[in-house]
Amino acid sequence: MLLHQLWPLLRPYRWQILLAFFLLCAASLTLLLVPLAFRDLIDLGFGSDTSSTHIESSLSRHFLLLTGLAAFWALAVACRYYTVSWVGERVTADLRSLVYQRVLTQSPQFFETLQTGEVLSRLTTDTTLIQTVIGSSVSMGLRSLIQLIGGMVMLALTSWYLFSLNLGLMLLVTLPVMLIGRKVKHLSRESQDRIADSSAMAGEILNAMPTVQSYGQENRETNRFRHSVEVSFNTAIRRTRVRAALAAVVIAGISGAIVFVLWIGARQVGSGELSGGQLASFILYAALVAGSVSTLAEVWGDIMRAAGATGRLLELLDAQPAIENPQQPETLPQLDQVSITLSEVSFYYPSKPDQPALNNISLQIQPGETIALVGPSGAGKSTLFQLLLRFYDLHHGTIHFNDRDIRSLRLQDLRSMMALVPQDPVIFSSSALENIRYGKPNASDDEVRQAARAAYADDFIQALPQGYDTFLGERGTRLSGGQRQRIAIARAMLKDAPILLLDEATSALDAESEILVQQGLNSVMHGRTTLVIAHRLATIQDADRIVVLEHGRIIETGTPSELRQQSGLYSRLAKLQLDIQP
Ligand SMILES: Nc1ncnc2c1ncn2[C@@H]1O[C@H](COP(=O)(O)OP(=O)(O)OP(=O)(O)O)[C@@H](O)[C@H]1O
């Protein structure tokens, strides 16, 4: 079942697997010949007159043969070990990349329910389990299986009577092994889930250290994490207990069977039914078979454990993104002149199915027009941006860019038409230069600097210890809020997209920098279709039109001066904000 699920990943390496299988068979069969050589050695060496030169030369031949077998065995094992480990590492690396690639195509909805720490845990610990199985357990299992079957055949050939006795006892051991194996699988999945829970928790807290420390919650968080670790410890111990029981059952069953058969065999040697050499080779084969059974039990436990992990990974691989590319994507001609038309748009977030975030919105935005979205917190302004970027699909209505429904465009094409400056800009852990270049990966250093100058980011970047090459720290922790915003604006400017989405892009700037950055933005906005979300109305006085949203509905639209003349929400806000300023 596990291998069947993993087969698509294994198939590219089928030749390596075949080679490993061949080496494995060769090594195992060699090992099976050893007891035979022993039998002859013992019967020749101790069973009869040892003085004859014929026997001496025969003995030497047997010793030579044994040495040859050992050398071949060693070589085959080394080659098999290398090949199988290679396949294990390779498949794990492929699986990691594949799962990561898949996760990156998921829409935001997916990340609302699955925490990033959990994804990370699946990518690391779960894949490591699978690597153990492919890279060692499966080959150990196969080797043991060949040795088990071969050993059984040889046992049967050596003494049918003793073999049948042994077989009966072995079967008695197998049944509990299978039953306990299933339990291990279940407990293993649970244990991996608990590990993922603690990773998710740690991930979240490590990302919020300043808040945790400013509220003095270090001890509480430590305890919460300790509790979570304890839960995973307890689950792991439950699994270990079951596996320990498995080992006890196997060892007790097998050694009991061997001792019993040895006792019967010894009596047969005494009565002359069996030679000493035959009994010795029988015992070697029985030990081989016993070893194989206990390895198989161990491997079975590993495989069941990995089956749990594979299930969790395949869940990620099989997750269908909520938003997908259309079957036959259309293209948008005239990319420099984009109009946006929203017709009766209604939308509910998946987690709030009975509270519309946007309710019956219709809006026509001309190419090159600047629209400012104003309204109280939670009115649905950022949601509108999310819908334009098609992070979610609408429940009712349509959005058109020029005359194309956005659902008919390839996601990449659609998103390449928009440059977004989000409320909370993201800074990656790389240099200032690379952070801005994220807007256009093939931009030259000069283009990057130009964008930085336009966003008034050039001065502060130059003043950083290594200028544009300064490492900005994880999530830009080495920058102020306003500096992060300017980097994000420079990045959006560099993208040079026909639509600009500014979500409170200058909210963290001081008044002076805001005016400067605004000038920069004005020059970029010129000729582009722009949507600006702003709480500070002073920054949107140049907008062509203001759209006022409340509770997900448009309640007013018009130019700033038109709206001031009405006695609606905008004029109330404007009175509060603009009129008290000197
Ligand atoms: N991912 C989400 N899942 C569920 N509800 C959400 C989600 N994001 C936003 N909301 C809800 O949708 C509504 C609109 O949110 P939105 O972020 O669009 O408001 P906004 O007008 O941009 O507010 P602000 O000015 O504070 O940024 C709010 O009631 C908010 O609680």
Is there a contact between 110 and 319 (Cβ–Cβ < 8 Å)?
Answer: yes
Distance from the CA of 27 to the center of ligand 1, in angstroms?
A: 64
Predicted confidence band of residue 334 (pLDDT cuts 50, 70, 90): low
Residue from 352, 423, 536, 549 to probe ligand 1 pocket by mutation (most atoms less than 8 Å from CB) = 352
Dist. CA 381 → ligand 1 center (Å)? 8
Q: Cα of 535 to ligand 1 centre, how many Å?
A: 15
3-state secondary structure (DSSP) of residue 346: strand
Rounded mean pLDDT, 458-463: 88
Cβ-proximal residues to 488 (8 Å cutoff; 6+ apart), any chain: 421, 422, 425, 426, 427, 505
Q: Is the pLDDT of residue 582 over 50?
A: no
Confidence of residue 499 (pLDDT cuts 50, 70, 90): very high
CA proximity to 501, closest of 351, 321, 350, 338: 338
CA-nearest residue for atom 12, ligand 1, is: 357
pLDDT beyond 60 at 581: no
- What pLDDT is stored for residue 58 in this prediction? 72
Q: How far is the CA of 384 from the centre of ligand 1 (A)?
A: 10
Is 360:553 a contact under the CB 8 Å cutoff?
yes
CA gap 494, 511 in Å, rounded: 24
* Level-2 CATH architecture, domain 12-318: Up-down Bundle (1.20)
Question: Region 367-377: what's the mean pLDDT?
Answer: 90
Q: Which of 381, 388, 553 for a ligand 1 pocket mutation test, highest count of atoms within 8 Å of Cβ?
A: 381
In this structure, which residue's CA is closest to atom 19 in ligand 1? Answer: 378
Summarize pLDDT for 138-197 with one digit per residue, the tens: 778 888 888 888 888 888 888 888 788 777 777 777 777 777 777 777 887 788 788 888
378 lines ligand 1 (CB under 6 A): yes
Say yes or no to pLDDT of 399 above 90: yes
Amino acid 449: pLDDT: 92
Residue 514 above 90 pLDDT? Answer: no
**Do strands 529-533 and 499-503 pair parallel, antiparallel, or not at all (unpaired)?**
parallel
Q: Is the pLDDT of residue 229 over 50?
A: yes
Which residue has a Cα nearest atom 17 of ligand 1? 382
Q: Rounded to an integer, what distance in angstroms lies between the CA atom of residue 118 and that of residue 126?
A: 11
Q: How far is the CA of 354 from the centre of ligand 1 (A)?
A: 14
Domain extents in the chain:
12-318, 340-577
Mean pLDDT rounded to a whole number for the chain? 83
Q: Determine contact, residues 489/457, Cβ cutoff 8 Å.
A: yes
Helix axes 218-270, 276-318, angle to 10 degrees: 150
- Residue 251: pLDDT over 80: no
**377 Cα: distance to centroid of ligand 1 (angstroms):** 8
The pTM for the full model equals: 0.73
Q: Which conformational region is residue 496 in: left (phi greater than 0), alpha (psi within -120 to 50 degrees), or beta?
A: left
The closest-lying atom of ligand 1 relative to the alpha carbon of residue 358 is 14
For residue 579, the model assigns a pLDDT of 67
Q: Which atom from ligand 1 is nearest to the alpha carbon of 380? A: 18
Tell me the per-residue pLDDT of 10-21, one tens digit each, with 9 for 90 and over.
Answer: 889 889 888 888
The sign of the torsion formed by the CA atoms of 438, 439, 445, 448 equals negative
| Residue 15 burial (C-beta neighbours within 10 Å; 0-12, 13-18, 19+) | exposed
Return the pLDDT at 51.
56
Helix-, strand-, coil-residue percentages of the chain, each rounded to 5? 65, 10, 25
Q: Is the CB of 581 under 6 A from ligand 1?
A: no
- For atom 2 of ligand 1, the residue with the nearest CA is 349
Give the C-alpha separation, 452 to 455, whole Å: 5
Dist. CA 358 → ligand 1 center (Å): 10
Q: Write the DSSP assignment of 388-430 as a string of letters.
A: HTTSS--SEEEEEETTEEGGGB-HHHHHHTEEEE-SS----SS
Question: What is the whole-number distance in angstroms between the Cα of residue 467 and the centre of ligand 1?
Answer: 37
Q: Can you give the pLDDT at residue 570?
A: 82
Give me the CATH code for the 340-577 domain, please: 3.40.50.300
Residue 101 has pLDDT above 60, yes or no: yes
Query: pLDDT for 261-272, tens place per residue?
Result: 778 888 888 888
Confidence of residue 134 (pLDDT cuts 50, 70, 90): confident
Closest ligand 1 atom number to CA of residue 109: 1
pLDDT level of residue 3 (50, 70, 90 thresholds):
low
In which residue are the tokens 């200032």 written? 432
Percent of the chain predicted with pLDDT > 90? 11
Share of the chain above pLDDT 70, in %: 96
- Ligand 1 within 6 A of 381 CB? yes
Q: Which residues of 442-459 are buried (b: 16+ CB within 10 A; e: fewer)?
A: ebeeebbbbbbebbbbbe
For residues 126-147, give the mean pLDDT.
Answer: 81
Residue 400: predicted pLDDT: 92
Answer whether 531 contacts ligand 1 (Cβ < 6 A): no
Residues 30-70 have pLDDT tens digits of 877 777 777 777 777 665 555 566 667 777 777 787 788 88
β-strand pairing of 418-421 with 545-550? unpaired
pLDDT at 54: 67
Q: What's the whole-number mean pLDDT along residues 383-395?
A: 90
> Does residue 107 line the site of ligand 1, with CB under 6 A?
no
| pLDDT the model gives residue 580 | 58
Ligand 1 lined by 181 (C-beta under 6 Å): no
User: Relative to the CA of 423, which ligand 1 atom is closest?
Assistant: 27
How far, in Å, from the CA of 116 to the mean position of ligand 1? Answer: 21
Q: What is the ipTM of this complex?
A: 0.95
Contacts of 412 (CB under 8 A, 6+ apart): none
The kind and range of the H/E element at 382 are helix 381-388
State which of 349, 358, 361, 550 you would mutate to test the pocket of ligand 1, scoring each by most atoms of that ligand within 8 A of its C-beta.
349
pLDDT above 90 for 485: no
Indicate whether residue 357 lines ligand 1 (CB < 6 A): yes
**pLDDT tens digits for range 561-576:** 888 888 888 888 888 7
Judge contact between 194 and 229, C-beta under 8 A: no
- Give CA–CA dist 339/6, Å, rounded: 47
Which residue has the CA at smallest separation from atom 14 of ligand 1? 380
Take residue 567 and report the two structure tokens written for it: 């006695």
Closest C-alpha to ligand 1, atom 25:
377
pLDDT above 70 for 274: yes
Angle at Cα 472 formed by Cα 470 and Cα 475, nearest 5°?
165
Q: Which atom of ligand 1 is nearest to the CA of 386?
A: 18
Can you read off the two tokens belonging to residue 321?
A: 């993104």
Mutate to test the pocket of ligand 1, among 112, 354, 383 (most ligand atoms within 8 A of CB): 383
Mean pLDDT of 445-452: 91
Residue range 428-441, pLDDT digits in tens: 888 889 889 998 88
Residue whose CA is at the smallest distance from ligand 1 atom 4: 349
Please return the burial class of 331, using the count of CB atoms within 10 Å of its CB with bins 0-12, 13-18 and 19+.
exposed
| Ligand 1 and 351: CB distance under 6 A | yes
